[in-house]
Amino acid sequence: MLTKRIIPCLDIKDGRTVKGTNFVQLRDAGDPVELAMRYCEEGADELVFLDITATTEKRKTLAKLVRDIATHINIPFTVGGGINSREDVSVLLENGADKISINTSAVRNPGLIDELAKNFGSQCVVVAIDAKIINDKWTVVTHGGRTPTTLLTIDWAKEVAARGSGEILLTSMENDGTKNGFALDITKAVSKSINVPVIASGGAGTMEHFTEIFKMADADAALAASIFHFKEIAIPDLKKYLAEQKIPVRI
């Protein structure tokens, strides 16, 4: 049986793992390669690395880090942050990334999704969608949540799936960093409206939150950062708990 995936996310700034609340107040959370290896050992199903510096000058450093990660871990990993072109993607894939994620650049230029899917295959294209409630509607925001758009989350999810995105990483900016649980309503609505896997992100604080997102919102995978980095929840404990809740997980 296909299992539900648990995905730790590592936000990277200047080659270090950091974590903040609602994308601000960053705390240092250690060396990304060491942390990645620890997660592999603990049974993480995949990893996501999000480079939040992502200036042109730093991109070379990122490629080096990606190569370092690729030579150390034996599970799939996605790299995102500041990817604007086919060339950016090519460099990351050549250095061993399995998938890349795009966010703001996809909103700015939706054709980029088609271009990447055509050239590298949908399996490596993850479109990250940051969603926030604006005027009572789940709206797409960009630039790490700072810039609102006119796109409705469901419409955008349908469009990116149609353009060839292989997976959708859906982050609720209302929930991110709160530890009060995932956004069940929008995750369920997105998952129902498209036929590609949805990774739910933002708000994980307890093991029960993971049960909810899988059982009540049909997420295919759940992503979290700080609860794993700071060892508030250990992945083996979480998976054991989910198995007891009759959720298929890889143990």
Partner 1 sequence: MNVVIIKYNAGNIQSVLFALERIGINATVTDDPLLIQAADKVIFPGVGEASTAMRYLKERELDKLIISLQQPVLGICLGMQLLCDYSEENDTPCLGMFDKVWIRKFKAADPQLKIPQIGWNTITGLKTGLFTSIEEKSYCYFVHGYYAGTSDYTIATTDYIQLYSSALKKNNFYGVQFHPEKSAKAGEQLLKNFLSLSL
Of 196 and 223, which has the nearer Cβ to partner 1? 196
- Of the candidate spans 116-124, 148-156, 173-181, 228-236, the one that interacts with partner 1 by CB under 8 A turns out to be 116-124
User: Is residue 220 annotated as part of the catalytic site, yes or no?
Assistant: no
Alpha carbon distance 175, 152 (integer Å) = 18
Alpha carbon distance 228, 247 (integer Å) = 20
Of 152 and 194, which has the nearer Cβ to partner 1? 194
Site for partner 1 in 221-250 (CB under 8 A): 221, 250
Alpha carbon distance 180, 203 (integer Å) = 5
If one asks whether residue 108 binds partner 1 (CB under 8 A), the answer comes out as: no
User: Is residue 155 annotated as part of the catalytic site, yes or no?
Assistant: no
Alpha carbon distance 79, 232 (integer Å) = 24
If one asks whether residue 55 binds partner 1 (CB under 8 A), the answer comes out as: no
Residue 34 makes CB contacts below 8 A (sequence gap 6+) with none
If one asks whether residue 124 binds partner 1 (CB under 8 A), the answer comes out as: yes
- What angle, 0 to 180 degrees and rounded to 10, lies between the N-to-C axes of helices 153-163 and 111-120? 30
- Of the candidate spans 20-28, 101-109, 135-143, 216-224, the one that interacts with partner 1 by CB under 8 A turns out to be 216-224
User: With the C-alpha atoms ordered 67, 72, 76, 78, is the resulting torsion angle positive or negative?
Assistant: negative
If one asks whether residue 71 binds partner 1 (CB under 8 A), the answer comes out as: yes
Q: How far is the CB of 199 from partner 1 (least distance, A)?
A: 10
x/- map, 194-213, partner 1, by CB under 8 A: -xxx----------------
Of 70 and 134, which has the nearer Cβ to partner 1? 70
User: What Å distances lie between residue 102 and 34, 198, 234, CA to CA?
Assistant: 25, 15, 29
User: Shortest CA distance to 144 belongs to which of 134, 157, 129?
Assistant: 129
Set 14, 130, 218, 220: catalytic member? 130
Give the angle subtended at the CA of 76 by the CAs of 75 and 80, to the nearest 5°.
Answer: 140
Set 11, 51, 88, 176: catalytic member? 11
Q: How far is the CB of 144 from partner 1 (least distance, A)?
A: 26
Q: How far is the CB of 220 from partner 1 (least distance, A)?
A: 6
What φ, ψ does residue 52 adopt, rounded to 5°? -95, 0
Positions in the binding site for partner 1 (CB under 8 A): 1-5, 40, 45, 70-72, 74-76, 93-96, 98, 120-124, 166-167, 192, 195-197, 218, 220-221, 250
Q: Which residues are catalytic?
A: 11, 130
